[in-house]
Amino acid sequence: MRRTRHANRRDFIRQAMAGTAVAGLLPAMVSKKAGGEDAFAPKDSIRITDVKTVCTAPERIRLVVVKVETSDPGLYGWGCGTFTQRPLTVKTAVEEYLRPFLIGKNPDNIEDLWQSMYVSSYWRNGPVLNNAISGVDMALWDIKGKRAGMPVYQLLGGRCRAAADLYAHASGRDFQEVEDSARRWMEKGYRHVRAQVAIKGYSAYGASDAGEAASNLPPETQVFEPAAYVRTVPKLFAHLREKLGDEIELLHDTHERISCAQALQLGKALEEFNLFFWEDPLPPEEVDYFRQIRNQTSTPIAMGELFNNPHEWIDLISERLIDFIRVHLSQIGGLTPARKLAALAEHFGVKTAWHGPGDLSPFGRAANVALDLACYNFGIQEQHVFNEAAQEVFPGCLKIENGYEYANETPGWGIDVDEEKAKKYPFRESPSFDMSWGRVRRRDGTIVRP
């Protein structure tokens, strides 16, 4: 009898994945305890049978993706748990701690699983465990989409725009190189460009100049002086506005390397160039200072790339101190907390600008774009074009055309992993991307954040 029910259920799921399911036929969630640890699961519900990570670096950026397998043959999901600076800690958290916690549970109840994973370590809200939870969380949304026969953005309420408008990165050793780089993106159809320029003699974020190392600093030191940076950046934007005109939307990332007073000076100096946004003027440790910045400059502020938990963004949003909330989805625990953050921000006029360079997997990008399409308060999406190797490892990477990124219309994320090809790109011992942090110092040797 049980075998028959199970077979019927498999047939139903196949129909659902083919997009032919009728809404409302899935077994209702039962409120009484079904026994064991999983209080909400119907007795014949599918179960999580395995949870594992795949670590791969097809672009030399260390990616961690999580696979959740179920008791229904062929039904599994993928999620992004990429904390590229400390990837092996996430792998351990997933395989040694979340895997035994999850096996046997019903993958349907995403909210309950998220909340229980979140408190399962008692101490919580850190980047390692949040990324581990995110890998599972996004995989559960992938499974949910496959069961419903829908792309994930449909599960979030459907689309309220056709595609996600992207901003590209332009950088260079001098103003002319930045201008040339911006023009190349504009020729490809981009309407938004983030501009970063090298600061002569210093190692600036996004564009470095090989400057003189001071005195007896460690040999790997990259020297940065914030005053030189603050003097240079307004001149860059004066050049770009003069050469590129007013139509192109320009963005800039300070990457939190300056003092509070310098942030005020820079925000005011940039006003006349009408930036689309000015990112991370201060580190997360200085968020209280946004009240002063907000009151004294009209330059739009994007903040939050380094945030881990709601206590870091609730006041900034509810006091309307920023214009764009900019978190890395896996860093805060995945799609489940991000959709709540987006909803909170909508009510205070804050728009989304999810972090999205190369240090997230195609599943992380797909989660970003699902929210971009489904959330009314979408602002802009950071762009990354995966190389050929990454597209081989992850068949189904999202399409970009004319500066717009489009969601897949296949169920779930519509992306898979070729696990054999992933093995061709193992982590290297010391990829330069991941080892670059913690080396930037002032001339006198003081460490600069970050």
Contacting residue, 253, 256, 323, 372, with Mg ion by CB under 5 A? 253
Question: How many amino acids of this chain bind Mg ion (CB under 5 A)?
Answer: 2
Backbone angles phi, psi at 414, to 5 degrees: 70, 20
CA nearest to 53, candidates 97, 85, 17: 97
Distance CA 212, CA 23 (A): 66
Distance CA 77, CA 139 (A): 4
Binding flag, residue 305, Mg ion (CB under 5 A): yes
**Do 329 and 364 touch, CB atoms closer than 8 A?**
yes
CB of 305 to Mg ion, least distance (A): 5
Among residues 69 and 372, whose Cβ is nearest to Mg ion? Answer: 372
Residue linked to tokens 């997933």: 94
Is 202 designated active site?
Answer: yes
Among residues 16 and 197, whose Cβ is nearest to Mg ion? Answer: 197
- Burial class, 432, CB count within 10 angstroms (exposed 0-12 / middle 13-18 / buried 19+): exposed
- Which of 169, 252, 255, 384 is labelled catalytic? 255
CB of 123 to Mg ion, least distance (A): 27
Helices 362-374, 127-148: axis angle to 10 degrees equals 70
**Do 158 and 374 touch, CB atoms closer than 8 A?**
yes
Among residues 66 and 197, whose Cβ is nearest to Mg ion? Answer: 197
| 394: amino acid identity, one letter | F
CB of 279 to Mg ion, least distance (A): 5
Distance CA 228, CA 234 (A): 11
The stretch among 141-149, 183-191, 246-254, 418-426 that binds Mg ion (CB under 5 A) is 246-254
Among residues 281 and 412, whose Cβ is nearest to Mg ion? Answer: 281
Residue whose C-beta lies closest to Mg ion = 253
CA nearest to 135, candidates 104, 93, 101: 93
Binding flag, residue 359, Mg ion (CB under 5 A): no
Binding flag, residue 256, Mg ion (CB under 5 A): no
Q: Judge if the upstream peptide bond of residue 431 is cis by omega within 30 degrees of 0.
A: no
CB of 239 to Mg ion, least distance (A): 22
CB of 237 to Mg ion, least distance (A): 17
Is 169 designated active site?
Answer: no
- Which of 76, 167, 190, 202 is labelled catalytic? 202
The residues assigned a catalytic role are 202, 255
Residues that bind Mg ion (CB under 5 A): 253, 305
